Amino acid sequence: MRGLSNKRVFITGAAAGIGLATATRFYEEGANLILIDMPPIEETKLKELFPERMTYLQANVTHKDSLAMIQGEMDKGIDVLVNNAGITRDATIHKMTDEQFDQVIDVNLKAVWKLSQMASLYMKDNGIQGAILNAASVVAHYGNFGQTNYVATKAAVIGLTKTLSKELGKYGIRVNAVAPGFIGTEMVRKMPEKVVAMMNEKAPLKRIGEPEEIAAAYAFLASDDARFITGTTINVDGGLVLG
């Protein structure tokens, strides 16, 4: 795929699941990776997977100190930001605590806004026609039981993506989102089996997705092949959203 070689690509939540698959895909495309995640031990694991062109930032995207560290790395250059880090804290409305609500807002929405602000400022000031890519979810389109907090953030990410694309288009910065369906990662393994089975039944392709299938959409949207695409959300969900 054209145009990703030697690009500086920041990926949040890169130590597992979709983030790790996305890191792998961009690495194969020749990108320089700046991988952001929380666990301290991940650096060794990541060094084995990505022996060169990789920097690991042990950072929590909701913490001020971490954001300062990420800013320091962005000041050396950024071409692509993948706002992938996301969490669930599920409970139905009468059981959900303020803490559960706030945690999900902070990671899935506020950090996306903050990192987009930081990345786009660098891109604008340095004439970089970069790409910002955000993790939405298929549930933003139709809601999901027990996830008022999570679904609200994912719907907000779609609106934020549209708005940022309008604000940043004049600088040549593109902003897009990917809305995954149910993908085989830790996040989905925590869900009740019957819910996942029900979703598989509803999807025209009748199966759960692979993290690599989401990574492919991010790689496409970051590439020159997507140079006229901005403000959109691509559903990568086996057709689930139709159901």
Are the CB atoms for 137 and 180 separated by under 8 Å?
A: yes
Helix (H, G, I), strand (E, B) or coil at 91: coil
Summarize as ranges the residues that interact with ligand NAD (CB under 6 A). 12-13, 15-19, 36-38, 60-62, 84-87, 107, 135, 137, 180, 182-183, 185-188
CB of 50 to ligand NAD, least distance (A): 15
Of 52, 107, 63, nearest to 85 by C-alpha is 107
CB of 2 to ligand NAD, least distance (A): 25
CB of 75 to ligand NAD, least distance (A): 20
d(CA 220, CA 212): 12
Are the CB atoms for 93 and 151 separated by under 8 Å?
A: no
Nearer CB in complex with ligand NAD: 30/204: 204
Nearer CB in complex with ligand NAD: 18/164: 18
Structure tokens given for 166: 């309008």
Cα 202 versus chain centre, distance: 25
CB of 126 to ligand NAD, least distance (A): 25
Nearer CB in complex with ligand NAD: 130/209: 209
Nearer CB in complex with ligand NAD: 3/184: 184
| Residues annotated as catalytic (active site), given as ranges | 150
DSSP 129: -
DSSP 31: P
